[in-house]
Structure 1
Amino acid sequence: MLDDRSRTLLKTLVERYIADGQPVGSRTLSKASGLELSPATIRNVMSDLEELGLIASPHTSAGRVPTARGYRLFVDTMLTARPLEWGQLAADGTAAPLQPDQPQRVIAQAANLLSSLSSFVGVVTAPRKPSVFHHLEFLRLGERRVLVILVAPDGDVQNRVIFTPRDHSQTELLEASNHLNAHYAGQSIEAVRERIKHEIDALRTEIAGLMQAAVQVGTEALAETQEQVVVSGERNLLGVQDFGQDLGSLRKMFSLFEQKTELMRLLDTSSRAEGVRIFIGGESRVVPFEELSVVSAPYEVDGQVVGTLGVIGPTRMAYDRMIQIVDITSRLVSNALNQR
């Protein structure tokens, strides 16, 4: 626990460092904090804050900079982000509101909007489709080769070839298709999997095997269509003072944006929380960079969370503004997708 004097000085130090990007000395703190303290007293408080791991002293300067732990305390207990309306956020005219259109276009627009407003990297996951099949067919392609055709409620069609333990006639395949469509159509893949586990003893062996194969195909097809994340503004990191000259860090960061798998894991974690989440300096263990922070929020369609969006930038970011940008963009995406 910090006393009021220590909290005020830490808050002032973080705000000055975010604004200027330069280590903050005791003289600057004395003027900016409004506290009538001697330089010696301020130095003592700074020393205490450093022992607590909240600030650090770069070798090249007598000033201090916040650590990830210091940023976390600042964000959790000292930051006030007032809600903004769209007109206030985009008053400079650099960003256009999202236009209800194809979901993929809305997602691309949102990623560009996040990047433009933040001057960092914007990331958005594509809306998750419900894991429900409307219709299924098995077609014999040859000996032990079967084509599985899955039709989703929105008309999306997924085709997969499976190899069966034994050959099936088209009559057997038709029987299995009819059984699945009659008893399981309209249910989620997860629900079908659970039902099959309990009903497998009552089903004929060949039908049970085909149904299990169909569920596996549906799961794989769903995973492929959902693992989509749109990234915009990666090059903005080249202009960030904090690591613009660190080519090693930049290479690792760009590799992260190219692979996208880790970003999907991070944003999936964020989708299970309400409102805006902030990961500072590798806290997520998914984006393991002490130099990066992530501000994210889920978005909804018909009251259900279907995706996540966020801003990735340096730990030295204006968190109050990033929270506002992410929050309002999540609402804009939700509104645009709900108008379709």
Structure 2
Amino acid sequence: MLDDRARLLLKALVERYIADGQPLGSRTLSQASGLDLSPATIRNVMSDLEGMGLIVSPHTSSGRIPTPKGYRLFVDTMLTAQSGPFVHTAGLSGVRLEPDQPQKVLSNAAHMLSNLSQFVGVVMAPRRTSVFRHIEFLRLSERRFLVIIVSPDGDVQNRVIFTEADYTQSQLIEAANFLNSHYAGLGMEEVRERLQREVEALRSEIAILMHAAVKASSEAIESQDEVVVAGERNLLAVSDFSADLGNLRKLFDLFEQKAQLMRLLDVSSRAEGVRIYIGGESQVIPYHELSVVTAPYEVDGKVVGTLGVIGPMRMPYEKMIQIVDITSKLVSTALSHSK
């Protein structure tokens, strides 16, 4: 347990280090904290904080910086996230994500998170079912056709297919009408199985077209990104990362593979409100230089996914909490009205 003096000094040290990125000595900390204490007293308190594992002296510097444990105590007990000033200065007041195709909403949200935080924005898409609400065909050229698939939540996916035979536009309309009237709302696997049994009554060339369309539709729906990532290049400007190319390479691999991100965001979606993972403590993303701030988003009151910001441990947590919290509400509103 920390006494009030130690808490104030730790809070001042973390806030000043987040702002400046420089280790703090006793004289600087005395000025930052506003406490009327002698340098010797501050050095004693800093020694105690170091003994508790809350701060550390990097390399040979006489100054101190927070440890992941110090950041955690700061975030859990010393933050008072408030709305108002930040929302106004960031230009978020009155901002909306327009109800549009859900995938576009998620992509816009990832870029919004990245732009506001100047770090990396990530959004986990809702779990997808390969169900279609409507399908259309458009002839592009000889034996080359565009399949347009509309999912139940309004997402639109396009796939180009090539066929051995050519089809007229009237044949394409006939095939689309059959699929829409008999199979809309069913999963693609079920559609595929029923087509095997039921299309014998149709002309064989139409049956072949529909099989090709269902295969392309299934691939289109299943291939959509489950995690949308934006702003990876922002990390190049973060001094905590840019000095170590090996670390940067690992971070970019993380964003490229996305599997670890999926696990972290999946875990976060089961929690209420904003969650903060500091310095690898999530055990899902084992990078001690990273912190992740996440929040779930909803559609019609039901949690369907998670979004967040990934950046250095030395991030302004109060600001990140507000960015993530507000964006999750904007996404929830947009998706709930996009149907």
Question: What is the deviation of 1:90?
Answer: 3.3
- Calculate the TM-score normalised by the size of structure 2: 0.72
SS of match in other structure, 1:73: helix
For the structure 1 residues 282 and 63, does the alpha-carbon distance in structure 2 shift closer, same or farther, using more than 3 Å as the test?
same
Cα deviation 1:201-246 (Å, max 9, x = unaligned): xxxxxxxxxxxxxxxxxxx99x946861010000000100112110
* 2:290 pairs with 1:321: no
Question: What is the deviation of 1:250?
Answer: 0.3
* 2:245 pairs with 1:247: yes
For the structure 1 residues 280 and 229, does the alpha-carbon distance in structure 2 shift closer, same or farther, using more than 3 Å as the test?
same
- Calculate the TM-score normalised by the size of structure 1: 0.72
Aligned-partner residue type, residue 73 of structure 1: L
- How many residue pairs are counted as aligned between the two chains? 270
For the structure 1 residues 10 and 99, does the alpha-carbon distance in structure 2 shift closer, same or farther, using more than 3 Å as the test?
same
Query: Which 4+ residue blocks in structure 1 deviate beyond 3 angstroms?
Result: 84-87, 129-134, 151-157, 223-227
Aligned-partner residue type, residue 52 of structure 1: M
SS of match in other structure, 1:58: coil
In the alignment, what sits opposite 2:309? 311
For the structure 1 residues 334 and 26, does the alpha-carbon distance in structure 2 shift closer, same or farther, using more than 3 Å as the test?
same
The CA distance in 1 between the partners of 2:127 and 2:71, in whole Å, is 33
In the alignment, what sits opposite 1:338? 336
Aligned runs of 1:1-340 on 2, under 5 Å? 1-84=1-84, 88=88, 90-91=90-91, 97-129=96-128, 224=222, 228-340=226-338
Identity fraction in percent = 71
The CA distance in 2 between the partners of 1:226 and 1:300, in whole Å, is 20
Residues 103, 127 of structure 1: 8 Å contact kept: no
Residues 84, 328 of structure 1: 8 Å contact kept: no
Q: Report the aligned-residue RMSD.
A: 3.3
For the structure 1 residues 187 and 52, does the alpha-carbon distance in structure 2 shift closer, same or farther, using more than 3 Å as the test?
farther
In the alignment, what sits opposite 1:206? none
SS of match in other structure, 1:272: coil
Aligned-partner residue type, residue 54 of structure 1: L
Runs of 5+ unmatched residues, structure 1: 135-150, 158-185, 189-219
For the structure 1 residues 113 and 152, does the alpha-carbon distance in structure 2 shift closer, same or farther, using more than 3 Å as the test?
closer
Cα deviation 1:100-138 (Å, max 9, x = unaligned): 10001000100000000000000001122469899xxxx
SS of match in other structure, 2:241: coil
Which 10-residue stretch deviates more, 125-134 or 51-60?
A: 125-134
Runs of 5+ unmatched residues, structure 2: 134-149, 157-184, 188-217
The CA distance in 2 between the partners of 1:338 and 1:36, in whole Å, is 54
Question: What is the deviation of 1:98?
Answer: 1.5
Cα deviation 1:166-208 (Å, max 9, x = unaligned): xxxxxxxxxxxxxxxxxxxx999xxxxxxxxxxxxxxxxxxxx
